[in-house]
Amino acid sequence: MSRTIECELCKFNNPRCTATAIIIRNGKLLLLRRSQEPHKGKWDLPGGYMESLEKPEEAMRRELKEELGVRPRLLFVNTFPGEASWQKRKFAVLSHAFLADIGKKDIKLNNENGSYKFTTISRLDPRLVAFDSNRNIVRFIKAQFGKFDIEELRGLVRQLDPSAYVGEYALYHAILNGHIVSIRRRKKLVGMGWIFVRQTLLRKQAVIEDMVVDTKHRGRGIGRAILNELIHWAKKQGVEVIELTSGQHREVANHLYRSAGFVYHPTNHYLLKL
């Protein structure tokens, strides 16, 4: 038996808040097949509605424990507005999307979903996903993460540092918190650089890291093209100073940086491993 509630507050279409998980493993996004209405049988992202007085991150952790039986590491991504319905009545929703790292933990579904699959990001079809806010999240994932192959990127970074290992969660975290420029030749990744912004007490500055060009493609202007695009991006962010470090043995790289206007800054560079 339904009840009709008449009040001033109920006339406002304020959004109901949800928490939604972006879980990626080996370049593939986790999708769940819904076993309940609405959208029974359609693919969905893990998540659900926030409860009273619950913070978005708390809701995300609760939902993932209920739906998948996992305890994730979370990084807030963004909010995505949309619309949902209940008993033929539409209402606004605001989805809080989180990048959720669950490692290699086993997934244990509850009765809300009948099955799950991991789909390659570049092959995702947002039209097959339930709820418009989730479809927008999938479009966002394709645009941000779809052009990177984790194994290909790891191979390139090892040319910079043979001991380096790029974690998948670290890659997506870096994309969300900065800007990666990549260059391909005949579909192969041949160069990249990453820049991120930080606000200090003195200025808004950016740091360039992980600048590397494939050994077989050096001397062809790829490094300069990457550097110019990173500088252009920094200018658009209102950055005042760009910082980078380079080993003294990297003579070609150091020449490139000086020719682009970078000035050597004598200082002691310290690292503390924790």
Q: Are residues 175 and 228 in the same domain?
A: yes
| Cα–Cα distance for residue pair 208/10, rounded to 1 Å | 50
Residue 158's SS3 state is: helix
Q: Are residues 20 and 113 in the same domain?
A: yes
Among 4-13, 155-164, 165-174, 187-196, name the one with the lowest average pLDDT. 4-13
Per-residue pLDDT, 13? 78
Q: Are residues 140 and 154 in the same domain?
A: no
Q: 90 or 209, which is more confident? A: 209
Is pLDDT of 1 > 60? Answer: no
269 in any annotated domain: no
| Cα–Cα distance for residue pair 191/212, rounded to 1 Å | 6
User: Over the chain, what is the mean pLDDT?
Assistant: 94
Q: Which secondary structure element, helix H or strand E, spans residue 72, and what is its range?
A: none
Q: Are residues 80 and 202 in the same domain?
A: no
Percent of the chain with pLDDT over 90: 89
| Cα–Cα distance for residue pair 114/226, rounded to 1 Å | 46
CB 92 within 8 A of CB 16: yes
Q: Are residues 185 and 246 in the same domain?
A: yes
| Of the candidates 58, 17, 20, 47, the residue with the CA atom closest to the CA atom of residue 141 | 20
The last residue of a domain, from among 97, 129, 145: 145
Number of structural domains (the chain) is 2
What domain range is 106 assigned to? 11-145
Cis peptide before 38 (omega within 30 of 0): yes
Q: Are residues 69 and 190 in the same domain?
A: no
The last residue of a domain, from among 94, 120, 145: 145
Is pLDDT of 140 > 60? Answer: yes
Q: What is the CATH number of the domain that holds 24?
A: 3.90.79.10
The mean per-residue pLDDT over the stretch 38-62 comes to 97
Q: Residue 3: pLDDT band by 50, 70, 90 thresholds?
A: low
| Cα–Cα distance for residue pair 140/146, rounded to 1 Å | 9
18-32 confidence digits (pLDDT tens): 999 999 999 999 999
DSSP letter at 58 equals: H
- The reported pTM is 0.90
Per-residue pLDDT, 190? 98
| Cα–Cα distance for residue pair 85/132, rounded to 1 Å | 11
User: What is the token pair recorded at 72?
Assistant: 């994730």
93 in any annotated domain: yes
